[in-house]
Chains A and B, each alone.
Chain A
Amino acid sequence: MSGKPRLTYLNGRGRMEPVRWLLAAAGVEFEENFLETREQYQKLIQDGVLMFQQVPLVEIDGMKMVQTRAILSYIAGKYNLYGKDLKERALIDMYVEGIADLMQMILMFPFSPPEAKDKNLDSIKERATTRYFPVFEKVLKQHGQDFLVGNKFSWADVQLLEAILAVEEKVPAVLSGFPQLQAFKIKMSNMPTIKKFLQPGSPKKPPPDDCYVEKVFKIFK
């Protein structure tokens, strides 16, 4: 046993990607166990290692953790990315929950029927630019600090950078009305652990393609 966290999921972003981001940002090396077939997935269920018969699964510190938010909260807590007290944690939680709602739209996008894709893309753009990004632009402007909460790098910063990049993949000029977020994106991308994660050859996964969508349907029916 290596002692490194071990991630079990498909070889793609999905619900595991925020976990990869957070571990990488915390400078934590991890192993990955990729699900390629339905049989593999069913075996995990039969072996009783998936609490609610679902992945993501992260084996960490002797626990077989499931449920993305639980996993992310544990990692954030363990690696001091969760603020210094209850109130900072509350802010971080509010921010990551908002970002998670935006990321959920992006997560589901490849699975929408072809005729709904344009509408869904418009929704993503609208929500990003009118509901979510303005909040973080304002936060950064008001305190003038580099990080969202407590003048210290936290889970919220990692999650926001991931969301910015994911939306930009679909809407390239999306940050045009958000100068603070543009500066934030550059600063965060240059943090050593994140810079490393953004380089080719890292565990960061590419955007979902048709092949990935097909695999999801095959494995999870």
Chain B
Amino acid sequence: MSGKPKLHYTKGRGKMESIRWLLAAAGVEFEEEFIETKDDLEKLRNDGVLMFQQVPMVEIDGMKMVQTRAILSYIAAKYNLYGKDLKERAWIDMYVEGTTDLMGMIMFHPFQPAEAKEKNLALIIERATTRYFPVYEKALKDHGQDYLVGNKLSWADVHLLEAILMAEECKPDILSAFPLLQAFKGRTSNIPTIKKFLQPGSQRKPQTDEKFVALVRKIFNF
């Protein structure tokens, strides 16, 4: 046993990507075991290691953790990326829930039926630029600090950077009206652990393509 966290998921972004980001940002090395076939998933289920028969599953500190938010909260707290008190945690939670909703839309986009894709993409862009990004732009403007909460790097910052990059993949100039987010993106991308994760060869997964969509549909039956 290596002591490193071990991630169980398919070889793609999905719901595990935010976990890869957070571990990487915290400077934590991790291992990955990829589910490549339906049988791989069935084996995990039959071994009784998936609490609710679902992945992501992360083996960490003797626990077999499931449920993305539970896993992220644990990692954030363990590596001091969750604020200094209950109120800072509340702000981080609110911000993260917003970026989760936005990234959720982007995550499901490749799985939409072809005829709905254009409209869905327009909705993603609208939500990003009118509902979500203005909130983070304002937060940074109001306190003038480098980080969203408590003048210190937190889970909220890592999650926001991940969301910005995903949104830019949908529309490259999506940050055009958000100067502070542009600066935030530049600064946060240069944090050594994050810079390393953004380089080729890291465990960051590529954008979801048709091949991955087909694989996911096959393994998870939808």
Contacts and interface: CB of A to CB of B under 8 A. Distances in A.
A74 B68 CA distance: 18
Interface stretch (B93-101, B111-119, B184-192, B208-216): B93-101
A90 B70 contact: yes
A53 B102 CA distance: 13
Given A74-B93, A98-B52, A131-B53, A93 B67 contact: yes
A70 B93 CA distance: 5
A53 B93 contact: no
A94 B56 CA distance: 12
B86 interface: yes
Interface stretch (A4-12, A61-69, A142-150, A173-181): A61-69
Interface string A82-103: 0000110110011001100100
A132 interface: yes
A97 B97 contact: no
Given A52-B135, A73-B89, A87-B63, A93 B69 contact: yes
Nearest to B66: A94
Contact of A77 (B53, B65, B89, B131): B89
A119 interface: no
A51 interface: yes
B93 A69 contact: yes
B86 to A, nearest CB: 5
A74 B89 contact: yes
A165 to B, nearest CB: 20
By secondary structure, the A interface counts as: helix
Contacts of B53: 131
A198 to B, nearest CB: 27
A97 B93 contact: no
Given A97-B67, A97-B69, A65 B135 contact: no
A93 B39 CA distance: 28
Interface in B68-111: 68-70, 73-74, 77-78, 86-87, 89-91, 93-94, 96-98, 101
A73 B70 contact: no
A57 to B, nearest CB: 11
Most chain A CB atoms below 10 A, which of B68, B73, B91, B132: B73
Contact of B90 (A53, A73, A101): A73
B98 A89 contact: no
Given A73-B93, A74-B90, A97 B70 contact: yes
27 contacts: A51-B94, A51-B135, A52-B131, A52-B135, A61-B87, A63-B91, A66-B94, A66-B97, A67-B98, A69-B93, A69-B97, A73-B89, A74-B86, A74-B89, A77-B89, A86-B77, A86-B78, A89-B74, A90-B63, A90-B73, A90-B74, A94-B66, A97-B67, A98-B66, A98-B67, A101-B52, A135-B52
Interface of B: 51-53, 61, 63, 65-70, 73-74, 77-78, 86-87, 89-91, 93-94, 96-98, 101, 131-132, 135
